[in-house]
Structure 1
């Protein structure tokens, strides 16, 4: 009997092969990502739109697709298939993936066969190449070694693991215990996350967004590491707070809960559609103190000079701390993108920090684990801005925590300039 393998920690087991139709969908999604450069979430949306898939089957498709992308170069080596050949040769790669994980071969109508003896030989060869075994592209390994040294191999290995599912309890509506109990009644099993008092880890295979808890706004899906960044801001009821790179607003909603919905919380971004999504999420969460504002020009920032008790700058970054969750980025990005991002981060930190009033707190944050985007940026900023002082920083390590990878630095403005 072929053994089942756990691919998603302890909450989702794949104990049978994919159906022929699901296999075709996986190949099509991979081809869209690898050949056309489509972001994975958009590829899912494009392929799932209009299909009447059961949540469990959609979950199996995303599970296998994500697992392949996390170690794509390994599976390409084992199957002797190039990424750009996915449409034509993907059936062989899918067969290799199933054999590698000791699962029955899917019953595809037209499938390229696999020489199992040759596969066994290739597996032994791959085991001798840690970078390949960890599913890491060469450019990323070179960058990781250069910036992180001895810490990099553990982080590299951690980033090829499946992402866990974490929830943030919405304390505007319930407590963590109340949420866990209500979810349990809806057949969603959770455990508390040590050191993150607002977090629950989901340990069952459940359709979270169909629960009454979600519809009532009792929780948001948010990585536990991300929750630690919002916690570091230490926003209080009645304060004037700015989330200046709010995006879709996960941290904004967390900050609103910290503030107990009291005070002014300004969520800003350069893209209106993200702020529109945030408005909808805020309504469901009863985060009534959230106000959105598009950053139309530098004047938007200048008008808020020295006005905020707290400012969060969750700046655009490489996303190299969240590759478990966004594995396609490893195969779309290049090292040439990092210097451009570093310059953008420097500009945002220098410009947007003007909003912090004397005695106020600034949090600079990324979802990267690379020092060039993190402490190096903060040190360079402090060297040029003596009116800020360093309080603390934290590297949230995927290898040490099991969370996604993040960084934050906490600074205080001590003078106007």
Structure 2
């Protein structure tokens, strides 16, 4: 019988150190490795851009948590996205992206890859017919987020995988919002999973990183080549911090989800709140799909406020426990205005988000304190 998620998070790739017995994986702060004669590598290590024991431990753990055979760690989530798309696409190819994609992903596709002859089409990925209409003969990738950032739309991964594969394309899923604890895209048919490990995997707002996981041997080989060639790898201390965060991922995601449900309940009854966007709500259009493919509904909540953009900015400025900051997934609660912050890069495009939208990353503080903070900020 295979070990459970929390057990694998603590143990896979993290056996006690062979030379000292250290229970925690050491931080291998080295740039190079002594060789036993020319080409005589010890455990395959020659140079830390190519491989590092601390990073290897992280990559093995990430692969296990996502149910994949191959895991690769990167210096940031965007570095992972860049390598993924360059591994999957060539000049003249086409990629379908969400019509509410993360701003950084849109910027990479629209401003960087476009210059190299990569075409893209935004589509509502929760609508199978819309995706089918967006796919072209030269479509090689469908890039999916679920839940999406920041509108928290939900995509049926299994249905999208079936459609994508029928078109001869690959399905890549950004699983950052859910984390591997809440959602397993590879089990649902995805070819590749991407993470900003900065977020829930690291979990403490103290490290930036990214990851790719796949079961596709050929794709894994291409990713490994690009990882080494481009060199956007995490240092050993970054890898160690991420591993440390992963050990408590299961516990944290349960608490994030508990607190988010309490916050959502409070927001629903507030007269100055318009829409509340959360997959756990029975009225959410993706609720049934989320209930089917997710363990819980997560710690991300978005909502609109009455009074437009200025009212939203005022709320963001008045919170005390919710820190006004970008990013998400840490133990502390964060609040942001996507239109002015994380999604400023999509202003004026088809992906522009509502001006009155606020996004919350609900932390693991006492739920009553978080609710009181938001209630006071809303006035």
The reply to whether TM is greater than 0.5 is no
Q: Which structure is larger by alpha-carbon Rg, 1 or 2?
A: 1
By relative contact order (CA 8 Å, sep 6+), the higher-ranking structure is 2
Q: TM-score, normalised by structure 2?
A: 0.28
TM-score by length of 1: 0.26
